[in-house]
Amino acid sequence: MLVVMKNDYQDVSREAARMVAAAVRSNPEIVLGLATGNTPLGLYNELIALYRTGSLDFSNTTSFNLDEYLGLPHSHPQSYHTFMDQNFFSHVNLPRQNIHIPDGTVTRDYEAYCAGYEASIKAAGGIDLQILGIGRNGHIGFNEPTSSLASRTRLKALSRETIEDARHLFASDSEMPNCAITMGIGTILDSRRILLLASGRSKAAAVAKAIEGPITSSVSASALQMHPDVTFIIDEEAAYSLTQRDYYRHVLEMTKIFTPERLS
């Protein structure tokens, strides 16, 4: 696990964009795992800027999003379909037919639908690079605390904390979804490489538990400790509760010398 600590959110976004851009350039047919939420917005803006200057091409890229609220039509302003379209897809040349986002309008046969989503990831050759945010409760995707560390794409009931964090985005409480379809922790761990982005003091406790705490289903992101190629890109505020910051800086310096490809 690599921990890259940056001054602020803008530097986190730039560093993440540098890594994603390098990965897309070295493998134009890359399969990206994408995330929603406030955290990756800066990354998407940086990638859009690179695309506009002509230095990045997504025409052979495929993407799979982590999750979607259950019960929201694609056109709903708070759906993750709308989010991805407004904040990324409508600004770059990633082909529509290569974009996959769980369908929140499914009303029956959820298991079959979710198995189909897993099968599409497999058919695409698996996820090469997965982008993640982290919830205050340590969730990745909508894998709320106590999610099985072996879970696959499935229906998941949202936690109270997650509902509280998102409620202000919806016109009324009754409109706020209470379930989602999410890739599982097992699905995420199958990705070849993972970048987790975090910014702000509100994420410091979750980040510290994910990196330094025990592996536990109470903190879904702690499962990332079992993955061989995870990079946390976090700002100083999000790194606030880590006890071994100096060691992570030392690891980073040694990585630059001995295995620089892990940072490209």
Q: Which residues bind ligand PGA (CB under 6 A)?
A: 37-39, 133-135, 139
The runs of H, that is alpha helices, within the chain are 9-26, 41-52, 80-87, 110-123, 160-167, 185-189, 204-212, 245-258
Smallest gap, in angstroms, from Cβ of residue 140 to ligand PGA? 7
Smallest gap, in angstroms, from Cβ of residue 119 to ligand PGA? 25
DSSP string, 198-221: E-SGGGHHHHHHHHHS--BTTBGG
111 is catalytic: no
Interior angle at CA 105, CA 119 and CA 218, nearest 5:
65
137 is catalytic: yes
Smallest gap, in angstroms, from Cβ of residue 64 to ligand PGA? 16
67 is catalytic: yes
Q: Can you tell me the distance from the alpha carbon of 220 to that of 96, in angstroms, rounded to the nearest whole number?
A: 31
Q: Please identify, using beta-carbon distances, which residue of 201 and 256 lies nearer to ligand PGA.
A: 201
Considering the candidates 15, 46, 68, 144, report the single residue annotated as catalytic: 144
Q: Please identify, using beta-carbon distances, which residue of 37 and 126 lies nearer to ligand PGA.
A: 37
Considering the candidates 81, 128, 137, 190, report the single residue annotated as catalytic: 137
Q: Please identify, using beta-carbon distances, which residue of 14 and 25 lies nearer to ligand PGA.
A: 14
Q: Going by C-beta distance under 8 Å and a sequence separation of 6 or more, which residues neighbour residue 196?
A: 132, 133, 134, 140, 210, 221, 224, 230, 231, 232, 233, 234
144 is catalytic: yes
Smallest gap, in angstroms, from Cβ of residue 136 to ligand PGA? 7
CB atoms under 10 Å from CB of 59, counted, come to 11
Q: Which residue is nearest to ligand PGA (CB)?
A: 37
Residue 181 DSSP label: E
Considering the candidates 139, 143, 190, 237, report the single residue annotated as catalytic: 139
Q: Please identify, using beta-carbon distances, which residue of 121 and 188 lies nearer to ligand PGA.
A: 188
Smallest gap, in angstroms, from Cβ of residue 220 to ligand PGA? 10
Question: At 232, phi and psi to the nearest 5?
Answer: -90, 125
Catalytic residue set: 67, 137, 139, 144
